[in-house]
Structure 1
Amino acid sequence: MSYTIKTTEEGLIYIKASSIIRISRPNSIDGAKVSGGPLIINADHITFLSFDTESKVTYFMMNGFQVSMKILYQEAEEAFQYGKSRTEKIIKE
């Protein structure tokens, strides 16, 4: 896998598994983990991008999940914008 984060023409954002810190849902007992392949997120399902309570860059999803990542805020924002505009782009290699 030659990318850390990339977008596709279908509006999907691919995030390398090693860049994911945590996938969680507030008020739940445990968080989910990503093993192996990339995490695929539909950009249309992202409510907003911000920082979580531990100051990690986080996508807040419509379904209540939070995806915290080990990437810069600018890279996550760029991926979000390219995903919304349905442009294929490798943000970080």
Structure 2
Amino acid sequence: MKAKLETTVEGLIIIYPSSVQSMRRANSAEGAKTLGAPIILDSQQICFLAFNNEGYVTFFMNNGFEISLKIEYQEAKNAYNYAKMKVMHIIE
């Protein structure tokens, strides 16, 4: 089984492209494209984890970006908690 999310001892969350629903800046006309590369988030830059208007689990970032994922809320919450604790973990 392929990994969906991965956390590092530096407090980063690596999100693989297969788990990304969309990545966009709030109130923007079009979303950003991931181009098949993993997205790396610093857990210190995440404001909160919730659902967006479409019902997808979403990391809301300090810089205004919303990263919506095709995973369950509990998986995203676990990744966030492991990253905050700076523990290496893979979520499949």
Per the alignment, residue 56 of structure 1 pairs with: 56
Corresponding pairs, count:
92
Runs of 5+ unmatched residues, structure 2:
none
The runs of at least 4 aligned residues of structure 1 exceeding 2 Å deviation read none
Instruction: Compute the displacement of 1:28 (Å).
Output: 1.1
Per the alignment, residue 19 of structure 1 pairs with: 19
Letter in 2 for 1:49: L
Output the TM-score relative to the length of structure 2: 0.95
> Aligned to 1:87, what secondary structure does the other structure show?
coil
What are the within-5 Å matches in structure 2 for residues 16-55 of structure 1?
16-55=16-55
Runs of 5+ unmatched residues, structure 1:
none
Output the TM-score relative to the length of structure 1: 0.94
**Percentage identity across paired residues of the two chains:** 46
2:32, 2:77 → 1: CA distance? Answer: 23
What are the within-5 Å matches in structure 2 for residues 2-13 of structure 1?
2-13=2-13
Instruction: Compute the displacement of 1:63 (Å).
Output: 0.5
What RMSD, in angstroms, separates the aligned Cα atoms of the two structures? 1.2
> Aligned to 2:3, what secondary structure does the other structure show?
coil
